[in-house]
């Protein structure tokens, strides 16, 4: 390796030590297993206690908004998937609903219920991933393997309907890519039974485990008012005792017709965040079971030529359908000018899409209100004052997803 010039430092830390006596400043840097590889925490430690933490994200900023400005409304759905890649379907449906509201399209009843079912199923996978990673970082390999095993069943099962394990690109403006294959719902029931067994074992392993209670209880405490002031939403806010959940407060899709509770924590510490996610998984499974009974027959995509591709047989026989198909693919659906802000309850909090359209096939601006970005802004409040080793469960329980945080 030839002697190269020193590598530049991409960030400017807020403090580099020396203000207080006897403190060291250390990087819990971007490439660290606890910070999921994309967040850098410059921490000033006195011994092992974190005095000040300066959090830097942006290591996974891939230019989502700039990409959206040069793709049609349908072409950018794969980009939307890779925002929160643990629960990609929730991103798809939030984005599609925003565009549908701009176009004034009413989706079919089957699509409404199926989107709700798949969103809850994707939320289940997200909470499984988050809890598995957090427990593994605390040393519970068995719980990690149980949860990732279950998540793998879900991935294979979702691949049966969408074709991909992680990045589904399944939402379409005005409907879905395709309908469920037959036998899918039977397999869904099997997986939900597996869920009860596997998560039951994890509850047994972890909930009253002395080590976990000492590591998680009263660590990373956050007050309710302070959480709202820092813009925190989702399970982290609910763990502080505030029952705010968009699925209950502003019901969208089919959540108005489902009966489910909003699990709420007591103290807003790591244990409550863990337990709120585990209880939310139970609620999601309860909702999925209701939705399987409520699922009406009928088409999945709305029969509206402005956004849904015509049937393949028509494309090969009629010239209008062929032109329609061609124009939809090449120029994208023509969305009338205007702006809209649509927010869904993502797995980490309020996932909002602020879309500005100047009436064409290509959006003028697609801005994502990312819960992870807001949580990273507030996480230093949960780190300061605790031990360096407590950074790992706190960061794991907040579930910062790089793609959604840095967009």
Partner 1 sequence: MSVGVHDRVAARWGAQALEVADSHGTLAILVEPARLAEVARSLKDEFGFNLLLDVTAVDWPERTPRFDVVYHFYSTRDFVRVRLKARVPVDAPVVDSLVPLYNSARFAERECHEMYGIEFRGNADLRPILLYEGFVGHPLRKDYPKHREQPLVPYRK
Partner 2 sequence: MSAGPQSSRSPGALEYLTTKKDEFVGWARKFSLFPYPFVTACCAMEFMAVSSSPYDTDRFGAALPRFSPRQSDLLMVVGTVTHKQAPVLRRVYEQMCEPKWVIAFGACATSGGFYQNYAALAGIDKIIPVDLYIPGCPPRPEMVIDGIMKLQDRIARDRHPILTENF
Partner 3 sequence: MNAYAGLLLYLAAILGFVALTLALNRWLGPQPAPAGAKLEPFECGATAIEPVGDRALPVKYYGIAVVFILFDLETVFLYLWALGAQPLTAAALAGFAVFVALLALIMVYVWRSGLLEEITR
| DSSP letter (8 states) at residue 7 | P
What string of H, E and C letters represents the secondary structure of 164-177? CCCCCCCEECCEEC
Q: How far does Cα 295 stand from its chain's mean position?
A: 24
53: β partners: 43
307 binds partner 1 (CB under 8 A): no
Subset of 56-95 contacting partner 2 (CB under 8 A): 58-63, 66-67, 78-79, 82, 85-86
Q: How far is the CB of 85 from partner 2 (least distance, A)?
A: 4
Subset of 115-154 contacting partner 2 (CB under 8 A): 129, 132-133, 144-145, 148-149, 151-152
Angle at 226 between CA 224 and CA 231, to 5 degrees: 95
**Which contacts qualify for 132-137: CB closer than 8 Å, 24 or more apart?**
133/36, 133/396, 134/274, 134/393, 134/396, 134/397, 134/399, 135/202, 135/206, 137/33, 137/34, 137/392, 137/393, 137/396
| Site residues, partner 3 (CB under 8 A) | 1, 3-4, 7, 9, 11, 13, 16-17, 22, 24-32, 35, 40, 42, 46-49, 387
369 binds partner 2 (CB under 8 A): no
271 binds partner 1 (CB under 8 A): no
What stretches of 4-140 show up as alpha helix (H) in DSSP? Answer: 64-68, 77-81, 88-103, 109-137
359 binds partner 1 (CB under 8 A): no
201 binds partner 2 (CB under 8 A): no
**Which residues, 6 or more positions from 144, have their beta carbon under 8 angstroms from its beta carbon?**
132, 133, 135, 136
Q: How far is the CB of 11 from partner 2 (least distance, A)?
A: 8
Residues lying near partner 2 in the complex (CB under 8 A): 1, 7-10, 29-33, 36-38, 58-63, 66-67, 78-79, 82, 85-86, 129, 132-133, 144-145, 148-149, 151-152, 155, 165-167, 402-403
| Binding-site ranges for partner 1 (CB under 8 A) | 4, 7-12, 14, 56-58, 61, 63, 65-67, 69-70, 101-102, 228-233, 242, 244, 249-250, 338-343, 350, 352, 354, 356, 364-365, 367, 369, 373-374, 376-378, 406-407
């Amino acid at each position: 390796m030839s002697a190269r010039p020193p590598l530049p430092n991409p960030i400017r830390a807020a403090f580099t030590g020396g203000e207080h006596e006897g403190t060291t400043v250390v990087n819990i840097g971007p490439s660290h297993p606890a910070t999921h590889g994309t967040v850098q925490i410059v921490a000033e430690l006195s011994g092992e206690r974190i005095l000040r933490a300066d959090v830097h994200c942006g290591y996974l900023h891939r230019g989502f908004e700039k990409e959206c400005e040069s793709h049609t409304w349908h072409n950018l759905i794969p980009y939307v998937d890779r925002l929160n890649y643990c629960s990609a379907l929730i991103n798809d449906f939030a984005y599609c609903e925003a565009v549908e509201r701009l176009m004034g399209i009413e989706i079919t009843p089957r699509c409404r219920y199926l989107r709700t079912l798949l969103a809850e199923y994707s939320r289940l996978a997200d909470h499984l991933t988050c809890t598995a990673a957090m427990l593994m970082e605390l040393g519970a390999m068995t719980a990690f393997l149980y949860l990732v095993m279950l998540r793998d069943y879900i991935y294979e099962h979702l691949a049966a309907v969408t074709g991909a394990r992680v990045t589904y690109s399944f939402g379409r403006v005005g409907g879905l890519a395709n309908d469920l294959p037959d036998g899918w719902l039977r397999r869904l029931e099997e997986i939900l039974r597996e869920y009860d067994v596997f998560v039951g074992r994890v509850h047994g392993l972890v909930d009253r485990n002395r080590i976990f209670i000492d590591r998680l209880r009263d660590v990373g405490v956050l007050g309710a008012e302070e959480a709202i002031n820092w813009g925190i939403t989702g399970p982290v806010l609910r763990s502080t005792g505030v029952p705010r959940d968009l699925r209950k407060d502003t019901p969208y899709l089919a959540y108005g017709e489902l009966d489910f509770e909003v699990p709420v924590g007591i103290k807003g510490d790591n244990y409550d965040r863990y337990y709120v996610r585990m209880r939310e998984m139970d609620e999601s499974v309860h909702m999925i079971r209701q939705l399987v009974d409520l699922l009406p027959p009928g088409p999945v995509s709305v029969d509206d030529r402005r956004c849904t591709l015509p049937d393949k047989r028509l494309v090969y026989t009629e010239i209008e359908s062929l032109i329609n198909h061609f124009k939809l693919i090449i120029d994208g659906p023509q969305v009338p000018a205007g702006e809209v802000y649509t927010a869904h309850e993502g797995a980490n909090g309020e996932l909002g899409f602020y879309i500005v359209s100047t009436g064409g096939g290509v959006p003028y601006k697609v801005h994502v209100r990312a819960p992870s970005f807001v949580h990273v802004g507030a996480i230093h409040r949960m780190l300061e004052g605790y031990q360096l080793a407590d950074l790992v469960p706190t960061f794991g329980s907040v579930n910062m997803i790089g793609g959604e945080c840095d967009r």
